[in-house]
Amino acid sequence: MTHTIQPNNPETTPAPDATDVPVTSVPAAAAAPAGKASAVPAALKRRIPKYSDLAPLMQFKKPEFSKEARLKRASTVWELRDIAKRRTPQAPFDYTDGAAEEEITLRRARQAFLDIEFRPGILRNVSTIDLSTDILGKPSRLPVGIAPTGFTRMMQSEGEYAGSQAAEAAGIPYTLSTMGTASIEDVAAAAPNGRNWFQLYLWTDRDRSLELIERAAKAGNDTLMVTVDTAVAGARLRDVRNGMTIPPALTIKTVLDASYRPAWWFNFLTHEPLTFASLSRYTGTVADLINSMFDPTLTFEDLDWLRETWKGKLVVKGIQTVEDARRVVDHGADGVVLSNHGGRQLDRAPIPFHLLPEVKQAFTADNTDAAIMLDTGIMSGADIVAALALGADFTLIGRAYLYGLMAGGRAGVDRTIQILEKDMARTMALLGVSKLSELTPDHVRLLNK
């Protein structure tokens, strides 16, 4: 005869009648003596610890204060930023960290990467992760390169030399800005085996622009990146409030600021004065320099001139609409960089990450093989993986690498790249993909869209 025993809730179920309950004998060993608690397991009984038990737990390490130890403790780009802020005077740090007007564009660009949901696949072999790719006809060990940044030796004295050499060591492209603080020739000499690109602002003086183009080609740069979102300088209010000048001026405020950051000033004052890729010396405000260089008359026809003049790969940076992406390709561009200049030009500008799927769809429909690159807002390897999944062929980092530079020079840039590489490999493994070609839009869902 089978008896079914239902769970008993004493608050809702009445006690059964004594006649209905089968009599079951309880083994003597299992029955606890009335009024006494069950025996305490040996593992839960208190005892005096033995030294042999404590010894493996006492791993006291000597405090380390070296630059290498400081950088090694940084696990994210944000932590490098914290170090950079402590070690860099306010004016150059804010020049890097800030954006235009109310900085709405920059906040939105970063938020865009947060407002996604990854959709992983399981039971895939991810024992090895391949992060290599091809961009503009040549290999890159990682799907990220260093974007052009101006006044880089002002952030930290190693500047473009640190960036180009770190990129060379990592096997990724490095882009020198027209407003960089090292010459085209010096950067090429510092990283002779690196893949060097040159970013161009087209001046109203076309002879000056042509001279730069010829120098870039002679120095071995295989890609020219022309920036087109700078008809005039954006209103970078942090720079205005800081009285930012090139070179930094020694005022009462900057001297007081320097007292907390002596290493930066020592490096700045004991190295060669700032020089530029495009002019030997300049004294004045950042806005004045920018406005003296940018050409507000630039049109699509100027791209035709560039295409005829430059024999290497031509990339147009600053694309913010699908229509413009298509038009620059029609005018000879080999690739586009979806970018709003890191939020430093037009506030409330389109967000490149949001624009990416539309441009990818348009290029697919047009059957064009022009490369799609993206910058603005990238602060982790997961951000890069998300961009690649949604259609980017390549990504560029500006602020992220500058935070590393300010945190520790060349070693800080190396650390930035290491962090991003580790992030990318981990994210891909957790998504269930082992190489970049396996990433698809199905791996990412845009929230709140």
- Residue pair 133/383 in contact (Cβ under 8 Å)? The answer is no
For residue 289, with 0-12 CB atoms within 10 Å meaning exposed, 13-18 middle and 19 or more buried, which class applies? buried
Give me 315's structure tokens: 């990339």
Give helix 206-218 / helix 300-309 axis angle, nearest 10°: 40
Query: To which residue do tokens 């938020």 refer?
Result: 111
**Cα(326)–Cα(330) distance, rounded to whole angstroms?**
6
- Residue pair 317/337 in contact (Cβ under 8 Å)? The answer is yes
Give me 392's structure tokens: 């980017």
Catalytic annotation on 354? no
Instruction: Name the CA radius of gyration of the chain, rounded.
Output: 30
Q: Please name every residue paired with 319 in a beta bridge, in sequence order, or none if there are none.
A: 338
What is the sign, positive or negative, of the torsion defined by CA atoms of 66, 72, 75, 76?
A: positive
φ/ψ (deg, to 5) at 338: -70, 115
- Residue pair 154/91 in contact (Cβ under 8 Å)? The answer is no
- Residue of 331, 341, 354, 443 marked catalytic: 341
DSSP per-residue letters across 384-410: HHHHHHTT-SEEEESHHHHHHHHHHHH
Q: Please name every residue paired with 224 in a beta bridge, in sequence order, or none if there are none.
A: 198, 314
What is the sign, positive or negative, of the torsion defined by CA atoms of 156, 151, 166, 98?
A: positive
φ/ψ (deg, to 5) at 302: -65, -30
Residue 182 corresponds to which amino acid? A
Contacts of 422 (CB under 8 A, 6+ apart): 381
Query: To which residue do tokens 């580790």 refer?
Result: 422
- Residue pair 312/221 in contact (Cβ under 8 Å)? The answer is yes
Give the DSSP letter of residue 435.
B
**Cα(116)–Cα(354) distance, rounded to whole angstroms?**
11
DSSP per-residue letters across 342-356: GGTSSTTPPPHHHHH
Give the DSSP letter of residue 377.
S
**Cα(405)–Cα(412) distance, rounded to whole angstroms?**
5
Q: Please name every residue paired with 313 in a beta bridge, in sequence order, or none if there are none.
A: 223
Catalytic residue list: 341
